[in-house]
């Protein structure tokens, strides 16, 4: 395979604090995500899933280990290689559990701003934002401010924002926690469609075992240790699908 992986991490370790307050949140995590692959990340609370996404998303530097995105080595231990912020806006899309919309921008502007940040003309960015909102079923709420949207609507706008820059990697941390199971599944399927259509690598942290059939690969994390689908429930669910 000559095509570079969407994501490759090796030996990713993150230690918070020091001395007796030291917490090892991530131990030697290695993961490979192909282009177009949709990965689920399971695990109990406090296992280190969010920490993993923050390291991979070039937001929190790891204590040790490397992060390679789209064949580009971006993070080597705490050392960042290249302009991380620029890389984030061009190649990575984020969705978090709590919706994180900019409060002074309307729904459509929240999506549009991402397009403008990567240098698209305002009108192009806006058109694309409208398409995304329509596709996510919140086109009618485009001109509402975030506070006027329900939790589910906010989350769908956030997903639209994560897609706006046509990223090569989407990182979603419990994106469906605030949605009902139907909507939750729709979002997961949307991720899969985007991944398959555009060759985007997707990692979704989720607790929703009913939607696991959407995923190509399932990882599990416990106490900072990352391992491919070990849990019986996960395997059973995938096998069942």
Partner 1 sequence: MNLAVRDIRHSLGRFVLTTLGVGMLLMVVMGMGGIYRGLVDDALVVTRGIGADLWVVQRDTRGPFAEVSRLPRSLVDRVAAVPGVTDAREFVFHTIQREHRGKPLRMGVLGLGWPTDKGEGLPLIAGRPLAQNHFEMIADESLGLGLGERLRLGKDTYTVVGLTRWLVASGGDGIACFTSRDAQAIQFDEPGESIRLERQARRARADEIDFGRTQPGVLDRASGPAQNLAALPGPSISAVIARLMPGSDPASVQRSMSGWSDVTTYTGPQQEELLLKGSVDRARRQILLFRVLLTIISAVIMALIIYTLTLDKLHPIALLKLIGAPTHVIAGLILQQSLIMGVLAYGVGYLIGTRLFPLFPRRVLVTNDDLLRLAGIVLVISVLASLLGIWKAMRVAPNEAIG
Ligand X SMILES: Nc1ncnc2c1ncn2[C@@H]1O[C@H](COP(=O)(O)OP(=O)(O)O)[C@@H](O)[C@H]1O
Binding site for partner 1 (CB under 8 A): 50, 54, 59-60, 85-90, 92, 94, 96, 98, 100, 102-105, 109, 112-114, 116-117, 122, 145, 161, 173
Least distance CB 94 / ligand X (angstroms): 14
Which are the contacts of 13, defined by CB distance < 8 A and separation ≥ 6?
24, 26, 27, 28, 29, 62, 63, 64, 65
Question: How many alpha carbons lie under 13 Å from residue 159 in its C-beta half-sphere?
Answer: 33
Phi, psi torsion values for 226, nearest 5 degrees: -105, 130
Closest CA to 75 of 116, 41, 26: 26
Size of the site for ligand X (CB under 6 A): 12
Binding mask 5-44 for ligand X (x = CB under 6 A): -----------xx-----x-x-----------------x-
- For position 200 contacting Mg ion by CB under 5 A, the verdict is no
Do the beta carbons of residue 39 and residue 203 sit within 8 Å?
yes
Q: Which is nearer to ligand X, 17 or 82 (CB)?
A: 17
Least distance CB 53 / ligand X (angstroms): 8
- Taking the CA atoms of 97, 100, 101 and 103 in sequence, report the sign of the dihedral they define: positive
Q: Which is nearer to partner 1, 159 or 234 (CB)?
A: 159
Site for Mg ion in 29-88 (CB under 5 A): 50
Q: Which is nearer to Mg ion, 41 or 114 (CB)?
A: 41
Query: DSSP class of residue 220?
Result: E
Chain positions contacting ligand X, by CB under 6 A: 16-17, 23, 25, 43, 45-51
């Amino acid at each position: 395979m000559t095509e570079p992986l969407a994501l490759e991490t090796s030996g990713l370790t993150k230690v918070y604090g020091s001395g007796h307050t030291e917490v090892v949140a991530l131990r030697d995590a290695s993961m490979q995500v192909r282009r177009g692959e949709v990965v689920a990340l399971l695990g109990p609370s406090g296992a280190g899933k969010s920490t993993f996404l923050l390291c991979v998303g070039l937001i929190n530097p790891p204590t040790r280990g490397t992060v390679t995105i789209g064949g580009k080595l971006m993070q080597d231990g705490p050392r960042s290689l290249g302009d991380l912020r620029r890389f984030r806006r061009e190649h990575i899309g984020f969705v978090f559990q709590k919706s994180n919309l900019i409060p002074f921008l309307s729904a459509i502007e929240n999506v549009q701003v991402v397009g403008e940040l990567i240098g698209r003309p305002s009108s192009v960015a806006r058109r694309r934002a409208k398409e995304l909102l329509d596709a996510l079923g919140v086109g009618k709420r485009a001109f509402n401010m975030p506070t006027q949207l329900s939790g589910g609507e906010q989350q769908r706008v956030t997903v639209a924002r994560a897609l706006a820059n046509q990223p090569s990697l989407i990182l979603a941390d419990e994106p469906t926690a605030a949605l009902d199971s139907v909507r939750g599944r729709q979002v997961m399927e949307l991720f899969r469609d985007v991944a398959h259509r555009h060759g985007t690598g997707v990692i979704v942290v989720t607790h929703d075992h009913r939607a696991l059939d959407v995923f190509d690969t399932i990882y599990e994390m416990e106490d900072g240790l990352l391992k491919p689908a070990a849990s019986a429930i996960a395997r059973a669910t995938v096998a069942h699908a």
